[in-house]
Every structure is written in C-alpha cells, then in structure tokens.
Amino acid sequence: MSARAAKKVKRNSPLAKAESRRFYLFLTPWIVGLVVFSGGPVLATFGLSLTDWSLLTTPHWIGLGNYQRMFSDEVLLKAIWNTLYFGGGATLASVSSTFLIAILLNQKVRGIGIFRAIFYLPAIVAGVGTALLWTNILHPDFGLLNFVLGKIGIQGPGWLTAPSWAIPALIIMSVWGAGNTIVIYLAGLQGVSVTLYEAATIDGAGWWGRFWHVTVPMMSPVIFFNMITGFIGSLQAYTLVLIMTDGGPSNSTLLYGLYIYRQAFQYFDMGYASALAVGLFGIIMLITAVQFLFARRWVHYESK
C-alpha cells in the first residue's frame, strides 16, 4: 500500500472521524461568535453606509451619496492626515523603543522579573486612567514633563495646547503603554539561538555587529508583526484623544476614529459614520498590503 493510500485510510478511520467531529464541535462557538458578533456588524455597517440615517428616523437609501460626500469633506482630510501622522510616529517610536527595552529585559541579571513586571504594568491600566495621568504629566504649567525640562534650563512647550506639539505629545504617551509589544519581543529574543552569537563573536563581530547582523535579521518577523498590529491599532485610536483633547486644539488631534465617533454619537449621522468606518477599513487594508509588499526586502524567515 502506498503512503498516500495509507494516509487516506487513516483519515477515514472511525477514530479520525470522531476526532474531526470533536474538532468542529469545539470550534462551533468561535465560528458562531465570529459570524454573529463580527461578520454581522461588518455587513450591517456596509449596508448602513448606503443610507441616510439619523438614528432616530427610518434609514433612507441614498446609494453612494455618503462616499461622494467623503471626497469633499475637508475636515475628513484633516483627520486622515492627523491619523497617518500619529499612526506612523507612534508605530515607529513604539516598535523601536520597546525593541531596545526588550533587549535589556532579556539579560540574565538578578531581579529581572521585577523589571519586566514594572514595564508591563502600564499596559493593564484602564484607558481613562492613562488619559488623566498623561493630561497631568503634559500640562504646560504644572506638568511633570515641563517641570523636569525646566530643571535643565529648557522651556517646555504647551504639549496639549499648541497645535504643533499636540500629536508629538500623543506619540510620547503611546510608548508608555506598550507592554504587550515588549512581551512579544521577549518571546522572540529568547528563541534566537545562542550559537549564532557565538559564531558571530568567533568571526570578530562586536556588540553592534551581533545586534545588526544576528538580532535584527532573526527578529525581523517579530518586528514586522508588531509594526502591522501597532499601526492598525494607532489608526483606530480615539478613546484617549477624546478624553485628553477632544480633537483640539483647532482639530490638530482630530483622528479618524474620533471623527467617526463625532458623526455617529454627536451629530447622529449614522449613515455617514458607517461610510467613514468602511473607508477606514479600506485605508487599513491598503497600508497593510503596502507593508507586506515592502516586507519582502527586509523580513527574513528561517528556512526549513
């Protein structure tokens, strides 16, 4: 009997069929949850985007009217620019800084577990608490950050009150709660073989050579994963901005997600808000596709 025939017989055996039934049985709750709580709302959002609905009235079909409105909405263009600015800056700052922090936390020193816990703790703080904390830290008059800058002779800016400094302030804040990214980096770093560093050392590589030619290439899939998830998360951000600045000053922190919130729950224009949500989905898919396209040039996977 050939190997292919043997595999076919094994798949058709009573034991294999029973395992298959159990597999789909345990998978059913997840499938139902995905279809009902994710797939259903997605289809409903697309359907509502083709209507004029003020939440308190009956939806009226207008076709692509909401999408045509998006192209002439100057506030939306401002929100898109702010979102890309914040998303790019926050992703770059978070991915790079947490990578370096993870390398430090990967050292074998006494009490390293305590340091790991300290760096992870901000990730579990509630969003409202984080917003209130950083509102006080970034306050232009009695904030901690400007107080420290003043001690070294630097006049701190109005972080959340000056349009040119508002987005950079939010980018700084985004790095503080990146404990999940650090954990992912730590898992990847612990999977890098020590023999690679030993071989690089024998070849005469210093600490920078080992970092650039061993650590970075071996960690490139993890870096890429954190870039994808971090950028998507940044494009969807709105809660902290809503509490801290509400899009101000002068719409300088009006992010795409906050603009959707305004249209839906302040102006009650659910049809246009749904169209904006579909547009955000399209932007995320486009940027993700571009990232995957360029990833071929710098992401390295181990050959099997």
**Could you read off the pLDDT of 165-185 as tens digits, one per residue?**
999 999 999 888 888 999 999
Query: What is the Cα–Cα distance from 146 to 159, expressed in whole angstroms?
Result: 9
Q: Exposed, middle or buried: residue 90 (CB in 10 Å: 0-12, 13-18, 19+)? A: buried
State pLDDT tens for residues 58-92: 899 999 999 999 999 999 999 999 999 999 999 99
State pLDDT tens for residues 27-60: 999 889 888 888 888 999 999 999 999 888 889 9
**What percent of the chain has pLDDT above 70?**
95
**304, pLDDT greater than 80:** no
CA geometry: angle 229, 257, 264, nearest 5 deg: 140
Domain borders along the chain are 3-48, 72-295
Give the number of C-alpha atoms closer than 13 A to the C-alpha of residue 291, restricted to the C-beta side. Answer: 19
pLDDT at 129: 86
Q: Which CATH class is domain 72-295?
A: mainly alpha
Cα-flanking dihedrals φ and ψ of residue 295, to 5°?
A: -65, -25
Rounded mean pLDDT, 228-232: 93
Q: Which of 119, 91, 121, 125 lies closest to 105 in space, CA to CA? A: 119
**What percent of the chain has pLDDT above 90?**
64
Give the tokens for residue 145.
């950050």
| Residue 198 near residue 250, CB atoms below 8 Å | no
pLDDT at 182: 93
Query: pTM for this one?
Result: 0.86
| Residue 59 near residue 48, CB atoms below 8 Å | yes
